[in-house]
């Protein structure tokens, strides 16, 4: 199972380490201890929390766009994967942004995408490419 240290979880959620520790202390997110004796959060629990946080945030107000990019990369947690025989739907929660991508089932299987895994959604025009960064928590074991 994929796990994240408190610091990593805080970075992905866009909050401080202390906030994640407080949430863990009050039971908002369950934690465990890794082989090094550090407090960790399972990826699936972190994905659930990211979804809760995003759902509770109101949409930002309308603002004037002063610059834009044709290529955007959103690092987040996979929160949902639905597969059929050929295609798959992957949802990534990147801070307050929920990104959905349709890709081949083979690609999802090869990337090891499942709830709780960190992934990057690269967006250019109408195409969304899902990448998996090199990260200690993505390794099986």
Convert the pLDDT of each residue in 26-42 to its tens digit. 999 999 999 999 999 99
**Per residue in 71-120, pLDDT tens?**
677 888 999 999 999 999 999 998 888 899 999 999 999 999 999 998 98
Q: Which residues contact 134 (CB under 8 A, 6 or more apart)?
A: none
Residue 115 CA to residue 39 CA, distance in Å, equals 20
Looking at residue 65, what is its pLDDT?
A: 47
Mean pLDDT of 44-68: 69
Domains with residue ranges and CATH for the chain: 3-56 (1.10.1660.10), 71-138 (2.40.50.100)
Give pTM, 2 decimals. Answer: 0.62
Bridge-based pairing state of the strands 71-83 and 32-33: unpaired
**Measured CA angle at 44 (ends 103, 114), to 5 deg:** 20
1: CB partners within 8 A, 6+ apart: 42, 43, 44, 116
User: What's the average model confidence in pLDDT over 37-58?
Assistant: 86
pLDDT above 60 (res 10): yes
Reading phi first (left if > 0) and then psi (alpha if -120 to 50, else beta), residue 88 is in: beta
d(CA 19, CA 91): 25
């Amino acid at each position: 199972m994929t796990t994240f240290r408190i610091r990593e979880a805080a970075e992905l959620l866009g909050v401080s380490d202390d906030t994640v520790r407080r949430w863990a202390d009050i039971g908002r997110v369950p934690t465990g201890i890794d082989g090094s004796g550090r407090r960790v959060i399972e990826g699936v629990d972190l994905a659930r929390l990211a979804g809760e946080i995003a759902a509770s945030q109101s949409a930002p107000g309308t603002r004037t766009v002063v610059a834009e990019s044709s290529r955007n990369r959103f690092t987040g947690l996979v929160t949902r994967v639905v597969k059929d025989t050929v295609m798959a739907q992957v949802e990534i929660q990147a801070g307050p942004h929920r990104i959905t991508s349709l890709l081949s089932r083979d690609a999802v299987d090869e990337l090891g995408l499942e709830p709780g895994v960190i992934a990057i959604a690269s967006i250019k025009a109408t195409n969304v490419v899902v990448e998996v960064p090199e990260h200690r928590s993505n390794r099986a074991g």
